[in-house]
Structure 1
């Protein structure tokens, strides 16, 4: 029989302080088998006192995230329902950096930890946490390479499990939402192919054109553009593992004469001009301060009249400063930074590029992320074997919470199509690519 008294009731009060809410919107299960909270709410398990100790030392998103990655906190049922309930509570529902606890709140949390026997030294962060702050100046070439390696050099086989045959790691374009979440993985590859083709059409690709793919990943866009549009593609990435697989895929498709995959910083590309440039899910790594330089570099690599498509996640929840102590920069995208759509459009226009089209794809990314989570969960044991249990938990947490962020409208994703001034006149209507 489930205990209704015990550690869970005290733990619930501690978690309510951290969340900044009167009552927790969760069914809390503690390490001693006791439970507290609404009986029909999603379940969160605290499997160890160490989880509370992490929260005491880092009271907020980071402490909870570390406990989840370490396996000390778990969501044994529907992870989306549990995280949605958690993110709807108090401080977690507020966009921007987590508000620190008051001295009175910290003192109450401390007393609760004493009563539960959870006091002790600050546990070491799980080994999956990035430590690239030691790599030199932010957004230097060396530090950017370290940040990319942390995220993308997890293993190509692991990514294949999550992404599916398309090997595309950005928002897909769905014709229709699937009838059930379990149906999403089956439609994922077609949705990704639709996105790749949409980018090709927006860029106006034609046989013989020379295209630059910035942040080319595993070469999926390069393969699609070369196979279906007869162009030659230079793809650049900072990930050695991505480049190895992209080159193999190009060779297997008989396209090595049309696809050149390089391990190269986009700032070092010096063999322009290109007829078109694609940047799909890359500019989030650039950072706000470097964005004008990013735009200027791509402008100079583009021939007059050539088009650039910038496909990027945006922050929709108003002005805020990035929080370096939140989960995403610590575990997922070190030094990553989301700009608002307005900031990105302003940067592109200020860099001498003419806006041709803006398309918002926010609901599409929520569907894409749910498909990735389902694929990860369906191949869980294999994914853990290819990386580590902690790394698989990082990806599950980040993709599920990101899906909820897109569904809530806190984040968006946009394709901004621009053209360098001069050369051919832009199309009169969108019919060229719709």
Structure 2
């Protein structure tokens, strides 16, 4: 009988990894991790070693028997894993900078997971994730895949549709961030607040908010209508909502909804920021360099507080809580990306949605919400169509499918502009998109 759990983290050299280590240390009594494999690619070797050494110091400080392995060999790492977490970025931050900068030239929002940038992140990421799934089928067929790699909804959609992996959950820190923001606005501890989440990744709504079991949704909406209280995130400009709009909407949007409901203002904000301080990727590059300088310090043996500036606050809590709840069959409620199975009436049953689920040892069981309110239903369906077509384009490498995906995204104003952006971005990302450039001979 195997002792302890083997967890493999692909993209182990990420600046977020110390959050994950902290989460496993905190839960060790319930979640006996014996091996943690941090895996990366050659280009990430230096960062992997820096983060890996910090991870070892953190575990040593905690006095726990968790073995940390650093590896560039994914297949070696995956053998007999119990959980596989993915947190990688194909093309690194340079690719993200292109995703953000190129659309701006055409007067279109350039953003990591929305619009043309989200499409291209998906096109680069999905073939890699499906390769990991193939390895898992062979080397750890019973393992759970917990994906944090963005765009998490589209990636989960692709795994559900194009791989044989059934044990997959997509995860995002946006719902936790929203709940924390609501608790802060209400002036109460976060564990007293429960939010009924439903929608898609980066397109999730709070349908209701409970404080000690009593609905306080209206109070939260009133708070959001206050321009001094615009709940936002580190990586999204906190432009305040129009009070009449937010009250009329009747549900609580996430920070990313600003791209859809405040498109022209967000575009202007991005253009100004790109000229003054660089795109978000360029800002993050500086932040990452500072973090890795901190991580190098041989005396550092905790997760440094500066990591929260990176936009990933609460992410380890989300990840470790999910793994803990699956392993221990906790049956608590968490918002995750999973197969819809009828939970949201206006989305196909076999599609990925982000919704509250009861987390069991068999995985997430989505909680039915019925239909989404009519005011938000159409936008959610449109983004789901975009994700589906984008995933198909990523798998097939078909140019016309990619053009349709780009054009049906609500942030892209016409097929002509879509084609111009698509052509420039395909060229810019050529080395990471072999499926579009390899001739297939029968």
**Fold shared by both chains (TM-score > 0.5):** no
TM-score under structure 2 length normalisation: 0.30
Give the structure with higher Rg (CA): 1
Q: Which has the higher contact order (CA 8 A, sep 6+)?
A: 2
TM-score under structure 1 length normalisation: 0.30
